[in-house]
Amino acid sequence: MEDTKAVKEILESLQGQIKTLGTLVDDTLLKKNLNELLFDLNDSSQQAKSEILKCRLVNAYAYVISSLYFSFLKADGNNQQNDHPIMEELRRVRSYINRVETIQQKQETHKKKEETSIKKAEKFINSNFGENRSREHAAISRVQFEGRHKRYSDDTTSAFKNTVEISKDESYRLRQKSKKSCSRKASRRHRSKERSRHVKDAGHH
């Protein structure tokens, strides 16, 4: 009597699981055909990701169908030694699933490396060329030019101004001297002409 009750509970539980499975199959595998689902996964902006998703969908279809058939054989009393051809089919599907997982892991690793490289590049640019960085960390700073540029002091500037003033005075004296020299030359020429004129007048008399 107790054995009958236990079997009945198992059957009821199994019936509930089968009902849940049927609902899931109706909502996923049978709601749309495979071609429609594959078309929904098309994404030209992310071609590689789209192809991976398609492969996963096809593998999922194959695995679900093979698993359902495997369960049917077990429930029907067949394949007790796991020597039915369905076992080979399950291994084949599983190998495809592993391949896709490997490819996906490589893509994720490559993506992480790219993101890391981008972050390093951004950090380098901000560190060396960023607008908000401090002056002491600037790529070209005032410190690099210390000792290379001589700045005139007030004394030097004053001496320069005095030199300019002296140069102005000297220039004025040179101009005055030049004017006097020209005046003397003109006077000598005038006196020479006067003497020549007096000599000519004396000859006529």
* C-alpha atoms less than 13 angstroms from C-alpha of 168 in its C-beta half-sphere: 6
22-46 burial, b at 16+ Cβ within 10 Å, e below that, comes to eeeeeeebeeeeeeebbeeeeeeee
Q: What is the mean pLDDT of the chain?
A: 78
* pLDDT exceeds cutoff 60 at 60: yes
* pLDDT exceeds cutoff 70 at 22: yes
* C-alpha atoms less than 13 angstroms from C-alpha of 105 in its C-beta half-sphere: 6
Of 60, 57, 62, the C-alpha closest to 40 is 57
The model's pLDDT over 38-49, given as tens digits with 9 standing for 90+, comes to 888 888 778 878
Q: For residue 10, what pLDDT band results from cuts at 50, 70 and 90?
A: confident
* pLDDT exceeds cutoff 70 at 154: no
- Answer with the residue of higher pLDDT: 205 or 104: 104
What is the rounded average pLDDT of the residues 13-39? 84
Q: How many CB atoms are closer than 10 A to CB 93? A: 20
3-class SS at 11? helix
What was the pLDDT predicted at 92? 95
